[in-house]
Chain A
Amino acid sequence: MFPAIPNPNVATDAAAPRFGEKDILRRSASTVTPPATRLTEVAKLIDVSKCIGCKACQAACLEWNNLTEEIGFNHGIYTNPMDLTPDTFTLMRFTEWVNPETENLEWLIRKDGCMHCEDPGCLKACPAPGAIVQYSNGIVDFQHDNCIGCGYCIKGCPFNIPRISKVDHTAYKCTLCSDRVAVGQGPACQKACPTQAIVFGTKDEMKEWADFRIKDLKSRGFENAGLYDPPGVGGTHVMYVLHHADTPSIYAGLPDNPRISPLVDAWKGVTKYVGLAVMGFAAAAGFLHYVVAGPNKVSEEDEENAERLADGAPPPTPAGPVERRTP
Protein backbone atom coordinates (compact mmCIF):
# COMPACT_ATOMS: atom_id res chain seq x y z
CA MET A 1 0.00 0.00 0.00
CA PHE A 2 1.07 3.53 -0.74
CA PRO A 3 1.06 5.57 2.47
CA ALA A 4 -2.17 7.58 2.65
CA ILE A 5 -2.03 11.34 2.70
CA PRO A 6 -2.87 12.43 6.25
CA ASN A 7 -6.07 14.31 6.95
CA PRO A 8 -5.87 18.08 6.77
CA ASN A 9 -4.47 20.15 9.54
CA VAL A 10 -7.39 22.26 10.68
CA ALA A 11 -5.28 24.78 12.60
CA THR A 12 -5.95 28.32 11.34
CA ASP A 13 -2.30 29.04 10.57
CA ALA A 14 -2.13 25.93 8.39
CA ALA A 15 -4.55 27.46 5.89
CA ALA A 16 -1.93 29.52 4.04
CA PRO A 17 -1.72 28.19 0.47
CA ARG A 18 1.50 26.39 -0.36
CA PHE A 19 1.67 27.80 -3.86
CA GLY A 20 0.12 30.68 -5.76
CA GLU A 21 0.79 33.65 -8.01
CA LYS A 22 4.49 33.72 -7.18
CA ASP A 23 4.93 30.15 -8.41
CA ILE A 24 3.62 30.69 -11.93
CA LEU A 25 5.97 29.07 -14.41
CA ARG A 26 4.01 29.90 -17.55
CA ARG A 27 1.09 32.23 -18.15
CA SER A 28 -0.90 32.15 -21.40
CA ALA A 29 -0.33 35.03 -23.85
CA SER A 30 2.11 36.66 -21.42
CA THR A 31 5.76 36.64 -20.62
CA VAL A 32 6.52 35.92 -16.99
CA THR A 33 9.77 35.70 -15.14
CA PRO A 34 9.80 32.13 -13.87
CA PRO A 35 10.23 31.76 -10.13
CA ALA A 36 13.85 31.41 -9.01
CA THR A 37 13.20 28.09 -7.33
CA ARG A 38 10.86 25.51 -8.64
CA LEU A 39 8.44 23.77 -6.30
CA THR A 40 8.70 20.01 -6.06
CA GLU A 41 6.77 18.63 -9.01
CA VAL A 42 3.63 16.79 -8.05
CA ALA A 43 1.91 14.02 -9.97
CA LYS A 44 -1.14 11.83 -9.91
CA LEU A 45 -0.56 8.21 -10.81
CA ILE A 46 -3.47 6.24 -12.18
CA ASP A 47 -2.85 2.51 -12.04
CA VAL A 48 -5.25 1.18 -14.65
CA SER A 49 -4.57 -2.38 -13.53
CA LYS A 50 -5.95 -1.68 -10.08
CA CYS A 51 -9.06 0.19 -11.18
CA ILE A 52 -12.37 -1.56 -10.53
CA GLY A 53 -14.45 0.99 -12.43
CA CYS A 54 -16.52 2.09 -9.45
CA LYS A 55 -16.54 5.74 -10.54
CA ALA A 56 -16.00 6.97 -6.99
CA CYS A 57 -13.40 9.33 -8.47
CA GLN A 58 -15.92 10.68 -10.96
CA ALA A 59 -18.47 11.26 -8.19
CA ALA A 60 -15.87 12.82 -5.88
CA CYS A 61 -14.81 15.18 -8.66
CA LEU A 62 -18.39 16.37 -9.18
CA GLU A 63 -18.85 16.76 -5.46
CA TRP A 64 -15.64 18.61 -4.68
CA ASN A 65 -16.09 20.96 -7.64
CA ASN A 66 -19.80 21.42 -6.88
CA LEU A 67 -20.87 20.24 -10.34
CA THR A 68 -24.04 18.49 -11.43
CA GLU A 69 -24.03 16.49 -14.62
CA GLU A 70 -27.13 16.34 -16.76
CA ILE A 71 -29.11 13.13 -16.52
CA GLY A 72 -28.16 11.33 -19.70
CA PHE A 73 -28.94 8.07 -21.46
CA ASN A 74 -27.62 4.56 -21.17
CA HIS A 75 -25.79 3.90 -24.39
CA GLY A 76 -25.21 0.26 -23.60
CA ILE A 77 -21.83 0.70 -21.95
CA TYR A 78 -20.72 1.82 -18.54
CA THR A 79 -19.15 5.04 -19.77
CA ASN A 80 -21.47 7.79 -18.59
CA PRO A 81 -21.67 10.51 -19.78
CA MET A 82 -20.28 9.47 -23.13
CA ASP A 83 -17.62 12.16 -23.19
CA LEU A 84 -16.00 14.77 -21.00
CA THR A 85 -18.24 17.81 -20.58
CA PRO A 86 -17.82 21.24 -18.99
CA ASP A 87 -19.16 19.59 -15.81
CA THR A 88 -17.37 16.25 -16.07
CA PHE A 89 -13.67 16.94 -15.57
CA THR A 90 -12.88 13.28 -15.22
CA LEU A 91 -14.53 10.32 -16.89
CA MET A 92 -14.17 6.57 -16.59
CA ARG A 93 -13.83 5.20 -20.10
CA PHE A 94 -14.63 1.51 -20.46
CA THR A 95 -13.22 -0.53 -23.31
CA GLU A 96 -13.89 -4.19 -24.04
CA TRP A 97 -10.74 -5.45 -25.69
CA VAL A 98 -9.91 -8.92 -26.91
CA ASN A 99 -6.24 -9.66 -26.32
CA PRO A 100 -5.08 -11.18 -29.61
CA GLU A 101 -2.45 -13.29 -27.85
CA THR A 102 -4.64 -14.90 -25.24
CA GLU A 103 -8.07 -14.49 -26.89
CA ASN A 104 -9.19 -13.23 -23.49
CA LEU A 105 -11.68 -10.42 -23.18
CA GLU A 106 -10.08 -7.65 -21.14
CA TRP A 107 -12.08 -4.86 -19.62
CA LEU A 108 -9.88 -1.79 -19.85
CA ILE A 109 -10.96 1.07 -17.66
CA ARG A 110 -9.18 4.37 -17.95
CA LYS A 111 -9.86 7.47 -15.93
CA ASP A 112 -9.69 10.23 -18.54
CA GLY A 113 -8.99 13.86 -17.74
CA CYS A 114 -6.36 16.57 -17.99
CA MET A 115 -2.82 15.19 -18.04
CA HIS A 116 -1.21 18.42 -16.79
CA CYS A 117 1.49 18.37 -19.47
CA GLU A 118 4.89 19.81 -18.74
CA ASP A 119 4.58 21.48 -22.18
CA PRO A 120 0.87 22.37 -22.22
CA GLY A 121 -0.63 22.76 -25.70
CA CYS A 122 -3.70 24.52 -24.29
CA LEU A 123 -1.54 27.21 -22.74
CA LYS A 124 0.45 27.61 -25.92
CA ALA A 125 -2.70 28.09 -28.01
CA CYS A 126 -4.52 30.39 -25.57
CA PRO A 127 -4.81 34.02 -26.79
CA ALA A 128 -6.09 35.49 -23.51
CA PRO A 129 -3.44 36.70 -21.08
CA GLY A 130 -3.57 34.73 -17.86
CA ALA A 131 -6.48 32.49 -18.78
CA ILE A 132 -4.22 29.45 -18.40
CA VAL A 133 -1.37 29.24 -15.94
CA GLN A 134 1.14 26.56 -15.12
CA TYR A 135 2.48 26.46 -11.59
CA SER A 136 6.01 25.36 -10.95
CA ASN A 137 4.72 22.20 -9.26
CA GLY A 138 3.34 21.17 -12.66
CA ILE A 139 -0.35 21.96 -12.22
CA VAL A 140 -1.97 23.56 -15.28
CA ASP A 141 -4.98 25.60 -14.25
CA PHE A 142 -7.63 27.65 -16.05
CA GLN A 143 -8.43 31.10 -14.67
CA HIS A 144 -12.04 31.64 -15.64
CA ASP A 145 -12.01 35.41 -15.07
CA ASN A 146 -9.54 35.74 -17.95
CA CYS A 147 -11.01 33.11 -20.26
CA ILE A 148 -12.76 34.42 -23.37
CA GLY A 149 -14.28 31.13 -24.47
CA CYS A 150 -12.59 30.97 -27.87
CA GLY A 151 -11.85 27.26 -27.64
CA TYR A 152 -8.25 27.58 -28.85
CA CYS A 153 -7.19 25.42 -25.87
CA ILE A 154 -9.22 22.58 -27.39
CA LYS A 155 -7.17 22.84 -30.59
CA GLY A 156 -3.93 23.05 -28.62
CA CYS A 157 -4.60 20.04 -26.40
CA PRO A 158 -3.14 16.74 -27.65
CA PHE A 159 -5.54 14.79 -25.39
CA ASN A 160 -8.91 16.39 -26.31
CA ILE A 161 -9.66 17.51 -22.76
CA PRO A 162 -10.98 21.09 -22.38
CA ARG A 163 -14.68 21.77 -22.86
CA ILE A 164 -16.40 25.12 -23.28
CA SER A 165 -19.39 25.75 -21.06
CA LYS A 166 -22.56 26.88 -22.81
CA VAL A 167 -23.49 28.65 -19.58
CA ASP A 168 -20.59 31.03 -18.94
CA HIS A 169 -18.66 30.49 -22.20
CA THR A 170 -15.38 29.61 -20.52
CA ALA A 171 -13.26 26.48 -20.75
CA TYR A 172 -13.29 23.79 -18.06
CA LYS A 173 -11.08 20.85 -17.23
CA CYS A 174 -9.51 19.03 -14.30
CA THR A 175 -7.62 21.42 -12.00
CA LEU A 176 -5.71 18.58 -10.34
CA CYS A 177 -7.61 19.99 -7.36
CA SER A 178 -5.16 22.87 -7.18
CA ASP A 179 -7.16 24.25 -4.27
CA ARG A 180 -6.75 21.02 -2.30
CA VAL A 181 -3.12 20.54 -3.25
CA ALA A 182 -2.43 24.11 -2.13
CA VAL A 183 -3.35 23.12 1.43
CA GLY A 184 -1.49 19.84 1.42
CA GLN A 185 -4.29 17.55 0.33
CA GLY A 186 -4.41 15.15 -2.57
CA PRO A 187 -7.01 15.52 -5.34
CA ALA A 188 -10.59 14.54 -4.53
CA CYS A 189 -10.52 11.61 -6.95
CA GLN A 190 -7.44 10.20 -5.26
CA LYS A 191 -9.01 10.58 -1.84
CA ALA A 192 -12.12 8.71 -2.95
CA CYS A 193 -10.39 5.81 -4.72
CA PRO A 194 -11.02 2.62 -2.73
CA THR A 195 -8.26 0.52 -4.30
CA GLN A 196 -5.44 3.05 -4.52
CA ALA A 197 -5.63 2.90 -8.27
CA ILE A 198 -5.15 6.65 -7.95
CA VAL A 199 -2.24 7.85 -5.85
CA PHE A 200 -0.83 11.30 -5.48
CA GLY A 201 2.52 12.67 -4.39
CA THR A 202 5.68 14.15 -5.80
CA LYS A 203 6.47 13.18 -9.37
CA ASP A 204 9.56 11.26 -8.22
CA GLU A 205 7.59 9.31 -5.63
CA MET A 206 4.99 8.46 -8.22
CA LYS A 207 7.60 7.20 -10.67
CA GLU A 208 9.10 5.06 -7.95
CA TRP A 209 5.72 3.68 -6.98
CA ALA A 210 4.98 3.03 -10.64
CA ASP A 211 8.21 1.05 -10.97
CA PHE A 212 7.13 -1.12 -8.10
CA ARG A 213 3.74 -1.67 -9.66
CA ILE A 214 5.20 -2.39 -13.09
CA LYS A 215 7.56 -5.00 -11.64
CA ASP A 216 4.61 -6.61 -9.92
CA LEU A 217 2.60 -6.63 -13.15
CA LYS A 218 5.50 -8.08 -15.11
CA SER A 219 5.86 -10.85 -12.56
CA ARG A 220 2.21 -11.66 -13.20
CA GLY A 221 2.76 -12.03 -16.93
CA PHE A 222 2.02 -8.54 -18.17
CA GLU A 223 5.25 -8.28 -20.13
CA ASN A 224 4.39 -4.93 -21.67
CA ALA A 225 3.38 -3.23 -18.45
CA GLY A 226 4.83 0.25 -18.23
CA LEU A 227 4.49 3.87 -17.26
CA TYR A 228 2.71 6.38 -19.47
CA ASP A 229 4.58 9.66 -19.04
CA PRO A 230 4.74 10.77 -22.69
CA PRO A 231 7.96 12.60 -23.58
CA GLY A 232 6.31 14.31 -26.59
CA VAL A 233 4.70 16.79 -24.21
CA GLY A 234 7.67 16.94 -21.86
CA GLY A 235 6.12 14.39 -19.55
CA THR A 236 2.85 14.78 -17.68
CA HIS A 237 1.77 15.34 -14.10
CA VAL A 238 -0.94 12.76 -14.45
CA MET A 239 0.59 9.42 -15.36
CA TYR A 240 -0.81 5.99 -16.01
CA VAL A 241 0.44 2.54 -15.19
CA LEU A 242 -0.76 0.50 -18.16
CA HIS A 243 -0.65 -3.29 -18.41
CA HIS A 244 -0.26 -2.85 -22.18
CA ALA A 245 1.98 0.21 -22.27
CA ASP A 246 3.15 -0.71 -25.78
CA THR A 247 -0.30 0.16 -27.17
CA PRO A 248 -1.80 3.05 -25.18
CA SER A 249 -4.44 3.63 -27.85
CA ILE A 250 -6.37 0.49 -26.86
CA TYR A 251 -7.32 2.36 -23.68
CA ALA A 252 -10.17 4.34 -25.27
CA GLY A 253 -7.89 6.18 -27.65
CA LEU A 254 -5.14 7.31 -25.31
CA PRO A 255 -2.65 8.84 -27.79
CA ASP A 256 0.37 6.63 -28.47
CA ASN A 257 2.75 9.55 -28.98
CA PRO A 258 1.01 12.73 -27.91
CA ARG A 259 2.59 16.01 -28.91
CA ILE A 260 1.34 19.48 -29.67
CA SER A 261 0.04 19.33 -33.24
CA PRO A 262 2.50 20.76 -35.78
CA LEU A 263 -0.48 22.73 -37.13
CA VAL A 264 -0.79 24.47 -33.77
CA ASP A 265 2.95 25.09 -33.66
CA ALA A 266 2.82 26.58 -37.15
CA TRP A 267 -0.17 28.73 -36.26
CA LYS A 268 1.21 30.07 -32.99
CA GLY A 269 4.79 30.20 -34.21
CA VAL A 270 5.89 30.96 -37.74
CA THR A 271 2.47 32.25 -38.92
CA LYS A 272 2.32 34.79 -36.13
CA TYR A 273 5.81 36.20 -36.61
CA VAL A 274 5.91 36.02 -40.41
CA GLY A 275 2.34 37.32 -40.60
CA LEU A 276 3.06 40.39 -38.49
CA ALA A 277 6.27 41.00 -40.44
CA VAL A 278 4.52 40.75 -43.80
CA MET A 279 1.75 43.13 -42.76
CA GLY A 280 4.29 45.56 -41.37
CA PHE A 281 6.32 45.27 -44.55
CA ALA A 282 3.27 46.00 -46.72
CA ALA A 283 2.47 49.13 -44.73
CA ALA A 284 6.11 50.28 -44.73
CA ALA A 285 6.42 49.64 -48.48
CA GLY A 286 3.40 51.86 -49.09
CA PHE A 287 4.86 54.63 -46.97
CA LEU A 288 8.25 54.39 -48.66
CA HIS A 289 6.70 54.34 -52.10
CA TYR A 290 4.81 57.54 -51.32
CA VAL A 291 7.97 59.23 -50.11
CA VAL A 292 9.98 58.15 -53.15
CA ALA A 293 7.42 58.32 -55.98
CA GLY A 294 5.23 61.10 -54.63
CA PRO A 295 1.48 61.32 -55.12
CA ASN A 296 0.02 60.37 -58.49
CA LYS A 297 -1.80 63.59 -59.42
CA VAL A 298 -4.15 64.43 -62.24
CA SER A 299 -2.69 67.23 -64.38
CA GLU A 300 -4.46 70.22 -65.93
CA GLU A 301 -3.73 68.67 -69.27
CA ASP A 302 -5.62 65.52 -68.26
CA GLU A 303 -8.64 67.63 -67.35
CA GLU A 304 -8.46 69.57 -70.62
CA ASN A 305 -8.24 66.36 -72.62
CA ALA A 306 -11.25 64.97 -70.80
CA GLU A 307 -13.20 68.16 -71.48
CA ARG A 308 -12.35 68.00 -75.16
CA LEU A 309 -13.37 64.36 -75.31
CA ALA A 310 -16.63 65.00 -73.48
CA ASP A 311 -17.45 67.93 -75.73
CA GLY A 312 -17.18 65.69 -78.73
CA ALA A 313 -14.08 67.43 -80.04
CA PRO A 314 -11.65 65.28 -82.04
CA PRO A 315 -10.15 62.95 -79.49
CA PRO A 316 -6.62 63.87 -78.54
CA THR A 317 -3.79 61.68 -79.69
CA PRO A 318 -3.79 58.33 -77.95
CA ALA A 319 -1.37 57.80 -75.13
CA GLY A 320 2.16 57.36 -76.34
CA PRO A 321 5.60 57.48 -74.84
CA VAL A 322 5.63 61.26 -74.50
CA GLU A 323 6.99 63.30 -71.63
CA ARG A 324 4.34 64.28 -69.16
CA ARG A 325 4.15 67.92 -68.22
CA THR A 326 4.17 68.41 -64.53
CA PRO A 327 1.39 70.72 -63.42
Chain B
Amino acid sequence: MSAGKLKTHAAEDVEPGDAVRPGHPVEVSRYTVGARINHWITALSLILLALSGLALFTPSLFFLTGLFGGGQWTRAIHPWIGVVLFFSFAGLFLRFWRANLPAREDGTWLARISDVLRGREERLPEIGKYNAGQKFVFWGMSALIVILIASGVVMWDQYFYPYTSIEQKRVAILVHSIAAVAIICVWIIHVYAAIWVKGTIGAMTRGKVTGGWAWRHHRKWLRELVGTRPGKRPPTPAE
Protein backbone atom coordinates (compact mmCIF):
# COMPACT_ATOMS: atom_id res chain seq x y z
CA MET B 1 0.00 0.00 0.00
CA SER B 2 1.54 3.28 -1.01
CA ALA B 3 -0.57 5.25 1.38
CA GLY B 4 2.38 7.48 2.24
CA LYS B 5 2.33 9.07 -1.19
CA LEU B 6 -1.30 10.05 -0.86
CA LYS B 7 -0.70 12.09 2.26
CA THR B 8 0.26 15.29 0.55
CA HIS B 9 -3.24 16.69 0.77
CA ALA B 10 -4.01 15.18 4.17
CA ALA B 11 -3.98 16.91 7.49
CA GLU B 12 -0.50 17.82 8.66
CA ASP B 13 -0.54 15.45 11.57
CA VAL B 14 -0.56 12.39 9.36
CA GLU B 15 3.09 11.50 8.91
CA PRO B 16 4.75 9.46 6.16
CA GLY B 17 4.32 5.77 6.95
CA ASP B 18 1.17 6.21 8.99
CA ALA B 19 -1.41 3.73 7.73
CA VAL B 20 -4.43 1.82 8.86
CA ARG B 21 -4.97 -1.88 8.09
CA PRO B 22 -8.45 -3.28 8.70
CA GLY B 23 -8.67 -6.54 10.58
CA HIS B 24 -9.50 -7.87 13.95
CA PRO B 25 -8.24 -5.84 15.64
CA VAL B 26 -7.49 -3.04 13.24
CA GLU B 27 -3.76 -2.38 13.01
CA VAL B 28 -2.47 1.16 12.71
CA SER B 29 1.10 1.88 11.67
CA ARG B 30 2.34 4.78 13.79
CA TYR B 31 6.12 4.84 13.42
CA THR B 32 8.34 3.70 10.55
CA VAL B 33 11.36 1.57 11.30
CA GLY B 34 13.57 4.60 10.66
CA ALA B 35 11.66 6.68 13.18
CA ARG B 36 11.87 3.88 15.75
CA ILE B 37 15.64 3.40 15.35
CA ASN B 38 16.03 7.16 15.53
CA HIS B 39 13.92 7.24 18.70
CA TRP B 40 15.81 4.49 20.46
CA ILE B 41 19.23 5.96 19.69
CA THR B 42 17.94 9.19 21.21
CA ALA B 43 16.44 7.35 24.18
CA LEU B 44 19.60 5.41 24.92
CA SER B 45 21.68 8.60 24.65
CA LEU B 46 19.35 10.47 26.97
CA ILE B 47 19.47 7.72 29.59
CA LEU B 48 23.27 7.49 29.43
CA LEU B 49 23.50 11.28 29.64
CA ALA B 50 21.19 11.38 32.63
CA LEU B 51 23.19 8.71 34.44
CA SER B 52 26.59 10.21 33.70
CA GLY B 53 25.34 13.73 34.30
CA LEU B 54 23.73 12.88 37.62
CA ALA B 55 26.98 11.21 38.67
CA LEU B 56 28.75 14.55 38.31
CA PHE B 57 25.78 16.55 39.63
CA THR B 58 25.69 15.24 43.14
CA PRO B 59 28.25 13.35 45.22
CA SER B 60 25.57 10.92 46.41
CA LEU B 61 25.30 9.62 42.84
CA PHE B 62 29.00 9.72 41.98
CA PHE B 63 29.05 5.92 42.14
CA LEU B 64 27.22 5.94 38.79
CA THR B 65 30.56 6.79 37.19
CA GLY B 66 31.31 3.09 37.70
CA LEU B 67 28.92 2.35 34.81
CA PHE B 68 31.14 4.31 32.46
CA GLY B 69 34.52 3.05 33.60
CA GLY B 70 35.25 5.60 36.30
CA GLY B 71 35.21 9.35 36.77
CA GLN B 72 37.70 10.19 34.03
CA TRP B 73 35.76 8.16 31.46
CA THR B 74 32.47 9.64 32.58
CA ARG B 75 33.83 13.16 32.23
CA ALA B 76 35.28 12.40 28.80
CA ILE B 77 32.34 10.50 27.34
CA HIS B 78 29.37 12.56 28.59
CA PRO B 79 29.79 15.43 26.11
CA TRP B 80 30.22 13.05 23.18
CA ILE B 81 27.00 11.25 24.06
CA GLY B 82 25.48 14.72 24.12
CA VAL B 83 26.61 15.29 20.55
CA VAL B 84 25.03 11.96 19.51
CA LEU B 85 21.81 12.94 21.27
CA PHE B 86 21.75 16.35 19.64
CA PHE B 87 22.01 15.00 16.09
CA SER B 88 19.76 12.04 16.80
CA PHE B 89 17.10 14.30 18.27
CA ALA B 90 17.50 16.66 15.33
CA GLY B 91 16.39 13.72 13.20
CA LEU B 92 13.33 13.18 15.38
CA PHE B 93 12.60 16.87 15.28
CA LEU B 94 12.56 16.92 11.49
CA ARG B 95 10.27 13.88 11.47
CA PHE B 96 7.79 15.03 14.07
CA TRP B 97 7.69 18.83 14.25
CA ARG B 98 4.87 19.27 11.78
CA ALA B 99 2.50 16.92 13.60
CA ASN B 100 3.36 18.70 16.85
CA LEU B 101 2.23 22.13 15.73
CA PRO B 102 -0.52 23.52 17.94
CA ALA B 103 -4.10 22.58 17.03
CA ARG B 104 -7.44 24.02 18.06
CA GLU B 105 -8.32 21.04 20.26
CA ASP B 106 -5.14 21.40 22.33
CA GLY B 107 -6.67 24.20 24.37
CA THR B 108 -9.76 22.17 25.19
CA TRP B 109 -7.57 19.17 26.05
CA LEU B 110 -5.49 21.25 28.44
CA ALA B 111 -8.59 22.85 29.97
CA ARG B 112 -9.87 19.35 30.74
CA ILE B 113 -6.57 18.09 32.14
CA SER B 114 -8.35 16.58 35.14
CA ASP B 115 -10.39 14.37 32.78
CA VAL B 116 -7.14 13.44 31.05
CA LEU B 117 -5.61 12.38 34.35
CA ARG B 118 -8.74 10.41 35.28
CA GLY B 119 -8.65 8.59 31.94
CA ARG B 120 -12.06 9.92 30.88
CA GLU B 121 -11.23 10.16 27.20
CA GLU B 122 -14.89 10.39 26.22
CA ARG B 123 -14.98 13.88 27.67
CA LEU B 124 -12.06 15.02 25.53
CA PRO B 125 -12.12 16.36 22.01
CA GLU B 126 -10.95 14.16 19.16
CA ILE B 127 -7.18 14.39 18.98
CA GLY B 128 -4.77 14.25 16.05
CA LYS B 129 -1.56 12.26 16.05
CA TYR B 130 -0.38 13.99 19.22
CA ASN B 131 -2.26 15.46 22.14
CA ALA B 132 -1.22 18.62 23.93
CA GLY B 133 0.71 16.62 26.54
CA GLN B 134 2.76 14.87 23.88
CA LYS B 135 3.34 18.20 22.16
CA PHE B 136 4.54 19.62 25.47
CA VAL B 137 7.03 16.75 25.75
CA PHE B 138 8.15 17.28 22.15
CA TRP B 139 8.69 21.03 22.39
CA GLY B 140 10.03 20.77 25.92
CA MET B 141 12.64 18.25 24.82
CA SER B 142 13.47 20.35 21.75
CA ALA B 143 14.03 23.56 23.70
CA LEU B 144 15.90 21.88 26.54
CA ILE B 145 18.20 19.97 24.18
CA VAL B 146 19.15 23.21 22.45
CA ILE B 147 19.86 24.80 25.85
CA LEU B 148 21.81 21.76 27.01
CA ILE B 149 24.01 21.48 23.93
CA ALA B 150 24.73 25.22 23.94
CA SER B 151 25.61 25.37 27.64
CA GLY B 152 27.37 22.02 27.37
CA VAL B 153 29.75 23.28 24.70
CA VAL B 154 30.63 26.27 26.90
CA MET B 155 31.65 23.94 29.73
CA TRP B 156 33.38 21.38 27.48
CA ASP B 157 36.81 22.49 28.64
CA GLN B 158 38.76 19.90 26.70
CA TYR B 159 38.04 21.56 23.37
CA PHE B 160 36.35 24.88 24.07
CA TYR B 161 38.09 26.22 27.18
CA PRO B 162 39.71 29.30 25.57
CA TYR B 163 36.56 30.63 23.94
CA THR B 164 34.61 31.70 27.02
CA SER B 165 35.35 33.43 30.31
CA ILE B 166 35.15 31.64 33.64
CA GLU B 167 32.09 33.70 34.56
CA GLN B 168 30.37 32.58 31.35
CA LYS B 169 31.27 28.98 32.18
CA ARG B 170 29.72 29.42 35.64
CA VAL B 171 26.49 30.64 34.07
CA ALA B 172 26.61 27.76 31.58
CA ILE B 173 27.10 25.14 34.26
CA LEU B 174 24.19 26.47 36.32
CA VAL B 175 21.93 26.65 33.26
CA HIS B 176 23.07 23.17 32.22
CA SER B 177 22.23 21.65 35.58
CA ILE B 178 18.80 23.31 35.77
CA ALA B 179 17.98 22.32 32.18
CA ALA B 180 19.12 18.78 32.93
CA VAL B 181 16.79 18.54 35.92
CA ALA B 182 13.98 19.86 33.72
CA ILE B 183 14.62 17.41 30.89
CA ILE B 184 14.75 14.48 33.30
CA CYS B 185 11.33 15.56 34.60
CA VAL B 186 10.00 15.79 31.03
CA TRP B 187 11.48 12.36 30.40
CA ILE B 188 9.71 10.98 33.50
CA ILE B 189 6.41 12.37 32.17
CA HIS B 190 7.12 10.83 28.74
CA VAL B 191 7.98 7.39 30.10
CA TYR B 192 5.18 7.41 32.64
CA ALA B 193 2.59 8.33 30.01
CA ALA B 194 3.78 5.46 27.83
CA ILE B 195 3.41 3.04 30.74
CA TRP B 196 0.09 4.43 31.95
CA VAL B 197 -1.64 4.49 28.56
CA LYS B 198 -1.71 0.80 27.74
CA GLY B 199 -0.92 -0.19 24.17
CA THR B 200 1.39 2.78 23.61
CA ILE B 201 4.79 1.16 23.85
CA GLY B 202 4.09 -1.06 20.83
CA ALA B 203 4.12 2.10 18.73
CA MET B 204 7.84 2.49 19.37
CA THR B 205 8.74 -1.21 19.42
CA ARG B 206 6.78 -2.80 16.57
CA GLY B 207 5.69 0.50 15.07
CA LYS B 208 2.02 -0.42 15.40
CA VAL B 209 -0.92 0.26 17.67
CA THR B 210 -4.37 -1.26 17.61
CA GLY B 211 -7.27 0.51 16.00
CA GLY B 212 -8.92 0.69 19.42
CA TRP B 213 -5.95 2.54 20.83
CA ALA B 214 -6.02 5.03 17.99
CA TRP B 215 -9.82 5.36 18.30
CA ARG B 216 -9.59 6.01 21.99
CA HIS B 217 -6.63 8.38 22.11
CA HIS B 218 -6.13 9.86 18.65
CA ARG B 219 -9.49 9.58 16.91
CA LYS B 220 -8.98 12.56 14.62
CA TRP B 221 -5.75 11.03 13.39
CA LEU B 222 -7.45 7.67 12.86
CA ARG B 223 -10.29 9.28 10.89
CA GLU B 224 -7.77 11.08 8.72
CA LEU B 225 -5.91 7.85 8.10
CA VAL B 226 -9.09 6.01 7.14
CA GLY B 227 -10.07 8.91 4.92
CA THR B 228 -6.80 8.81 3.01
CA ARG B 229 -6.93 5.06 2.39
CA PRO B 230 -7.14 4.35 -1.37
CA GLY B 231 -10.14 1.98 -1.18
CA LYS B 232 -12.94 1.63 1.28
CA ARG B 233 -12.18 -2.07 1.57
CA PRO B 234 -8.80 -3.76 1.76
CA PRO B 235 -7.73 -5.78 -1.32
CA THR B 236 -7.98 -9.03 0.64
CA PRO B 237 -10.54 -9.63 3.35
CA ALA B 238 -9.09 -9.48 6.79
CA GLU B 239 -8.56 -13.00 8.21
Which A residues are within 8 Å of any B CB, using their own CB?
29-30, 127-129, 146-152, 154-155, 160, 164, 169, 261, 263-264, 266-267, 271-272, 274-276, 278-279, 282-283, 286, 289-290, 293-300, 302-307, 309-312, 315, 318-324
Contacts and interface: CB of A to CB of B under 8 A. Distances in A.
Listed residue (B170, B177, B184, B222) with the most chain A CB atoms within 10 angstroms of its CB: B170
Interface in B39-66: 55-59, 62, 65
Interface stretch (B10-18, B128-136, B193-201): B193-201
Contact of A293 (B74, B117, B122, B199): B117
B22 A307 contact: yes
Contacts of B233: 311-312
A279 B62 contact: no
Given A29-B62, A293-B118, A303-B212, A149 B75 contact: yes
Contacts of A289: 117, 192, 196
Interface string B22-33: 111110000000
A95 B223 CA distance: 77
A169 B62 contact: no
A148 B74 contact: yes
Contacts of B173: 152, 155, 263, 267
9 tightest A-B CB contacts, nearest first = A306-B211, A148-B71, A303-B212, A29-B59, A302-B212, A286-B192, A275-B181, A312-B232, A306-B215
A266 to B, nearest CB: 6
Given A127-B62, A310-B20, A271 B119 contact: no
B161 interface: yes
A286 B169 contact: no
B170 A261 contact: yes
B189 A306 contact: no
B192 A148 contact: no
Contacts of A149: 72, 75-76
Given A302-B212, A306-B222, A309-B215, A128 B62 contact: yes
B226 A309 contact: yes
B86 to A, nearest CB: 20
B124 A319 contact: yes
Contact of A272 (B58, B122, B123): B58
23 contacts: A128-B62, A146-B71, A147-B71, A148-B65, A149-B72, A261-B170, A263-B173, A271-B174, A272-B177, A275-B178, A279-B184, A286-B189, A290-B195, A296-B196, A297-B198, A299-B212, A299-B216, A303-B215, A306-B26, A307-B25, A309-B211, A309-B215, A319-B123
Given A290-B196, A318-B126, A319-B122, A263 B212 contact: no
Nearest to A287: B192
Listed residue (A297, A310, A320, A322) with the most chain B CB atoms within 10 angstroms of its CB: A310
B206 interface: no
Given A289-B117, A302-B213, A266 B188 contact: no
B210 interface: yes
Nearest to A266: B174
Contact of B58 (A276, A295, A307): A276
Contacts of B199: 297-298
A263 B62 CA distance: 22
Contacts of B170: 155, 261, 263-264, 267
Contact of A261 (B125, B167, B180, B219): B167
A327 B182 CA distance: 37
B12 to A, nearest CB: 21
B212 A306 contact: yes
B185 interface: yes
Given A298-B199, A319-B126, A129 B119 contact: no
Contacts of B71: 128, 146-148, 150
Listed residue (A264, A290, A303) with the most chain B CB atoms within 10 angstroms of its CB: A303
Given A296-B198, A302-B216, A324-B120, A278 B185 contact: yes
A172 to B, nearest CB: 14
Given A297-B198, A307-B24, A279 B188 contact: yes
